[in-house]
Structure 1
Amino acid sequence: MKKIKKFLLTIAITMALGTSAFAASGFEFLFQLAGGAGAAIPNKEAKDLGFGTGLSFDADISAQIGYMFQVKEGFGISVLGELGYAWDFYLTGIDGGTLSSNTTAAGGVEYTVEGKDGLSLRQCYHSFKLGLLPKFNIGFGGRHGLAIGIGGGVKIPITGNYGATITTVGTSQVKEELQYEQDINLKRQDIVDLYSPSVIGYMKVTFDYYLFFTDNIGMNFGLYLGGDFAPKLKDVKYGYNSFDIGLQLGFRFGPKA
């Protein structure tokens, strides 16, 4: 009987110490808005076609849900799943190349394009975002804290748009600028048929400053560095990746570090 009491007392003491050590551990929820801009970087196949570095823009509304484990006073580790809506836009093109082709002008007159032409491509995707974002939380005491996150996941495009603008500076017969534009709206099945992979992989590093109003409620003001691996056209393997820098603002519910 004494051995049983001693065993139960040992378990109780161990549980009490464990509860004390992880007193600040708990459920964590973050809702935030983010947006930024950066560079669209061509892959080898796009470079071979003459495409250079372009522009990229992104924005998202996301929720991060998980659990924070306090390692010691003032330091904790969060394991968070991330889901939400993402918008991505890539603007790329060829500028200053020479192109020759037969074209029919107004009135049925044929002429040959002999000027310097420009080709601009626009890609836009509306996606469902799903990922994992572990964070290292540092508490400064009082109402202040800092979190550094490193994670990634996939954006699954649901709809999109693919547009092109061809600009001709001049011709042998008509000395004026001509433009031809085309826009194609894409549904999920179109994206699956045209692109491989049909998802956008992403990685990011986040830096968040937390200002707590209570022990469990606060605002976050942050910066992120992100990289996207955009879909590639199946036939020609043409595609762009991107690197973006942006700002994020959110609401946080969870324990302090």
Structure 2
Amino acid sequence: MKKIKKFLLTIAMTMIFSISAFAASGFEFIFQLAGGAGATILSKDAKDVYQKGGLSADADVSAQIGYMFQVKEGFGISVLGELGYSWDLYMMGYGDTTVASVAGTYSAKDGLDFSQYYHSFKIGLLPKFNIGLGGRHGLAIGIGGGVKIPLAGNQSLTSTTAGSYTTSEEAKTQIDIALKRKDITDLFSPAVIGYMKVTFDYYLFFTDNIGMNFGLYLAGDFGPKFKDTKVKINDSFDIGLQLGFRFGPKA
């Protein structure tokens, strides 16, 4: 977390002190929907249990609020705070947990599927480089990050053992655990998920200050560690799309 904070602070301070002109500077607000998918990346310790990472996914609703400083005609720098809601899914496991049925007999192979999802409050910093393309068009590239604070979630474990069984319940074991904020703080320390992301947006302006953005993001999550064992479960890398409404000056 300390490295992420230092990185974000360095970006923000560098941008602010590099600005030399403010002719078209102004307040900026973006309301945005985003979602994507990728892969769960297991830590070394987690690989000993789950062997391989699986699918990851995320979706969020966020507001980006800040100020755009115009450096020169056609180029500006935005310093934006980011607040919102985030849903994140992480999957991992090994083998095959499918249960087959033939003539009343159930068979299974060795397998384990483990998944987590969280509902989180997201807070971060997202500086952007804005490039005017003339007329109603513009581009923006953002580099930033922050933390997701899980407020609730769920953990699901499905396991099978190779053999033949008389019922499907004997062939497969499934456990679902709903998590509240207190459960999460009891399990993990710190009980937050760090994230970093790079965004690429195309802006279409309807007026000098109102427009829509259509974009792509690349994001990485940094999972927490168990409080007792200090073992880290997983990180993830996702690619997704974003769509938003923008109020603020053109570059």
- TM band (smaller chain): 0.7 to 0.9
Q: Does 1:143 align with 2:175?
A: no
Count of residue pairs the alignment pairs up: 221
Larger radius of gyration: 1
Q: 1:234: Cα distance to partner?
A: 2.9
Unpaired runs of 5+ in structure 2?
1-20, 98-106
Deviations 1:216-248 (A, max 9, x none): 000000000000011233344140100000000
Unpaired runs of 5+ in structure 1?
1-20, 98-113
Aligned equivalent of 1:198: 191
Question: What is the root-mean-square deviation in Å for CA atoms of aligned residues?
Answer: 2.0
Q: Secondary structure at the match of 1:219?
A: strand
Superposition TM-score, scaled by structure 1 size: 0.81
- Quick one: distance in 1 between partners of 2:48 and 2:161? 22
Q: How does 1:1-257 map to 2 (within 5 A)?
A: 21-95=21-95, 116-171=109-164, 178-236=171-229, 237-257=231-251
Q: Secondary structure at the match of 2:191?
A: coil
- Quick one: distance in 2 between partners of 1:50 and 1:185? 21
Letter in 1 for 2:147: V
Percent of residue pairs bearing the same amino acid type: 73
Q: 1:95: Cα distance to partner?
A: 1.4
- Quick one: distance in 2 between partners of 1:33 and 1:50? 32
Letter in 2 for 1:183: D
Aligned equivalent of 1:109: none
Letter in 2 for 1:73: E
Q: 1:179: Cα distance to partner?
A: 1.2
Q: Secondary structure at the match of 1:53?
A: strand
Q: 1:168: Cα distance to partner?
A: 3.0
- Quick one: distance in 2 between partners of 1:126 and 1:228? 14
